[in-house]
Chains A and B, each alone.
Chain A
């Protein structure tokens, strides 16, 4: 099965700057989601975008999806130190049961 590839693997920015991370995948999907993980803890769901949507917003988060390029991006605006975490994309293809995750982007926001 496919697995998402995320880049960059690691990103370090100053507080207040924007952070962009990208996810690419190989086969058609039903939806794509983004999760956050704080230092080895459980993942927290951030936002979902469906295959027929191109852009979605939630607070300081903006997600885009380009199905022709099989890629998605997550933008965090005006970053805060509390945004320091690893971010994973996850996708459903075919049935809802099987979920595949990307390899993750480790974001560090320096105060």
Chain B
């Protein structure tokens, strides 16, 4: 089944404790992206990647890191989480310039609480 998976789905952590949220897609998509969703603000793009080893900042990159060493994986790293990073996080992918680049497929989300 074509899908985007994220792990973990739920995470409670404390301020300053480094964490990684994994994202993987099995559709051979070139483009991958991370978003955070907060009430009243819709989704805001954190980082995106057009292909392996190519990443760039979205609208709210502060406090986050990403890497794209393999085409299928795009982990989101919070080096020193703070309470204002408490949010619902989504990973998404699309074919990119290889095809239908507009249609993004979303993962199920990761709900993060930073105490």
Contacts and interface: CB of A to CB of B under 8 A. Distances in A.
Contacts, number: 62
Given A40-B88, A100-B45, A48 B58 contact: no
Q: Size range of the interface on B? A: 20 to 34
A103 interface: yes
Contacts of A96: 31, 96-97, 101-102
B109 interface: yes
A99 B42 contact: no
B48 A41 contact: no
Contact of A44 (B106, B109, B111): B106
Contacts of A3: 42, 44
A43 B90 contact: yes
B104 interface: yes
A31 B102 contact: yes
6 contacts: A1-B59, A31-B102, A43-B92, A99-B45, A101-B43, A101-B44
The 5 closest A-B pairs by CB, nearest first: A42-B106, A101-B43, A103-B42, A101-B42, A43-B106
